[in-house]
Chains A and B, each alone.
Chain A
Amino acid sequence: MSWRARGLALALLGLAGAVGARADIPAGERKSGALFMSKQTQAMQADDTANPGMLAAAEGEGLWNASPAPGGKSCAQCHGAAETAMKGVAARYPAVHEASGRVVDLDGRINVCRQEKQNASPLARESRELLALSAYVGLQSRGLAVAPPDDARLAAARERGRALWETRMGQLNFSCAQCHDDNWGKHLGSAPIPQAHANAYPIYRLEWQGMGSLQRRLRNCMSGVRGEPFALGSPEFIDLEAFLAARAQGMPVETPGVRP
């Protein structure tokens, strides 16, 4: 939406001056983050033999089939083949965990099974094992549309996430929306600003020389504006993830993505 059109929309709504009021990126203009990368990095993501995220997914496959402790059940012993049991699962997360009524993201959901079904301790956020499992589970949704469930409890999380998205933060006083809705396609220094769709996570990031979750990416954006990032696994991040999933609804899952 152009500045003029946005200004008009603001005026019509009588909201001029209300910083948060803005329109979403229209469906026809949505672009995967991969399209903001060099051709070379795009090719690396597209080629399974070159995409380092596939190594993490392969490690995840090993963990899927292994029992976490002697006598404990493996993921596969309960769920069977991930190719069928986990197909489309990552595309639906964050989702409500019915037993607790909580909104959980995929990492959180994997840890629910670790604790409740495997009697094992939860895997730390950003640990190699959790990233490997989420890459493997995520891979089973590759090519399927992001499909956040229609659920009022999720809608509440999404609305909180949207409010965070529109809140200015940090010493540099930027909101997520000011970069990703208002200025996508332009450059910060020389870095192209993507639209911030979360359909390729976890990713292998060349700068990190390793895998990282969506929350790690969000922490980077928050410290970039000299803000204090939310804690890994915090309710604020789950809310932001729920908002981002709704924002990317219908876009194909690309997990595991590669980023510069």
Chain B
Amino acid sequence: MRSAALWGAWAAISLTGMAAQAQLAPFEVVGDAIPKPLTDTPGDPARGRAIVADRQKGLCLLCHTGPIPEQRFQGDIAPDLAGAGSRWSVEQLRMRIVDGTRLNPATPMPSYYRVEGLNRVAPAFRGAPILDAQQVEDVVAFLATLRDPPSQTGKP
């Protein structure tokens, strides 16, 4: 019952989301990375952690397991976030959050900072990226702090 309610709640809340006609900040892709931050304000790891844990904002833990022990119901369809900060540089992490499909068209990872080339987006979400530029920077800053591999942090 609880399991269904969580994904059900996801669906229900999806429909009440706010659409903003967002202007995406311009960014430059170099290799598999986005070298420059999307905003002038540096990312805040604490805010990033809250976004990652939030099932309506980052939605990360629906698919990923991660070292956020207070969140009990974590998905297991994508790699553990633990150690992401030692596997990837900040610049590479930014690319993977902004639009991982540019690196691997078949990845299930959503493109968090993209509005073009999507199909049948619900009206409440049309024209807006999943996260705004500052939220992307916050999430990247948090992921960069996750340096311990999964075996050392222990699975929740």
* CB contact list, A182-213 vs B, under 8 A: 182-183, 186-193, 205-207
Q: Is the interface of B mostly helix, strand, loop or mixed?
A: loop
Find chain B residues with CB under 8 A from A187 CB.
3, 73-77
Please tell me if the beta carbons of B63 and A188 are within 8 angstroms of each other in the complex.
yes
A interface, over-half SS:
loop
Interface residues in A157-175 by Cβ distance below 8 A to B read 167-174
**B62 — which chain A residues lie within 8 A by C-beta?**
188-189
**Residues B4 and A172 in contact, CB atoms below 8 Å apart:** no
Contact at A189–B61, with CB atoms within 8 Å?
A: yes
Q: What's the Cα separation between A61 and B8 when bound, in Å?
A: 31
A226 at the interface (CB under 8 A from B): yes
Contact B105 A17 (CB under 8 A): yes
Contact of A227 among B10, B111, B122, B130 (CB under 8 A): B122
Q: Which listed segment binds A: B34-42, B113-121, B132-140, B144-152? A: B113-121
Decide if A220 is an interface residue (CB 8 Å cutoff): yes
> Which residue in chain A gives the minimum CB-CB distance to B121?
A171
A17–B101 alpha-carbon span in the complex (Å): 11
B23 at the interface (CB under 8 A from A): no
Query: Which residue in chain A gives the minimum CB-CB distance to B111?
Result: A173
A207 → B minimal CB distance (Å): 5
- B123 is an interface residue with CB less than 8 A from chain A: yes
Tell me if B29 counts as interface (CB < 8 A to partner A): no
| Complex Cα gap A171–B117 (Å) | 10
B125 at the interface (CB under 8 A from A): yes
CB distance from B85 to the nearest CB of A (A): 24
Decide: A223 near B14, CB < 8 A? Known: A182-B108, A228-B120. yes
User: Chain A residue with minimal CB distance to B19?
Assistant: A171
B46 contacts across to A, CB distance below 8 A: none
A193 to B121, CA, bound (A): 22
Q: Is the CB of A191 within 8 A of B108?
A: no
Report Cα–Cα, A256/B59, bound state, in Å: 33
- Asked if B75 and A189 sit within 8 Å, CB to CB, the answer is yes
Question: B4-26 interface mask toward A, CB cutoff 8 Å, 1 = contact, 0 = none?
Answer: 11111011001101000000000
Residue from the list B4, B77, B111 in contact with A260, Cβ < 8 A: B4
Q: Are A228 and B123 in contact (CB under 8 A)?
A: yes
Given known A19-B106, A171-B110, contact A186–B75 (CB-CB < 8 A): yes
Minimal beta-carbon separation of B65 from chain A (angstroms):
9
Contact A171:B122 (CB < 8 A) given known A189-B10, A260-B1: yes
Given A178-B108, A183-B77, A223-B15, answer yes or no on A191-B121 (Cβ-Cβ < 8 Å): no
Q: How far is the CB of B148 from chain A (nearest CB, A)?
A: 23
Contacts of B128 in A (CB 8 A): 171
**In the assembly, what is the distance between CA of A79 and CA of B10, in Å?**
44
Known: A17-B105, A172-B59. A189 touches B6 (CB 8 A): yes
Contacts of B14 in A (CB 8 A): 223-224, 226
11 contacts between A and B (CB under 8 A): A171-B128, A174-B108, A183-B77, A187-B73, A188-B63, A191-B3, A192-B3, A224-B10, A226-B14, A226-B17, A227-B120
Other A-B pairs, 16, CB within 8 Å; known A183-B77, A187-B76, A190-B72: A169-B118, A169-B119, A172-B130, A186-B75, A187-B73, A187-B77, A189-B61, A190-B2, A191-B6, A192-B3, A205-B4, A207-B8, A223-B11, A223-B15, A226-B121, A228-B122
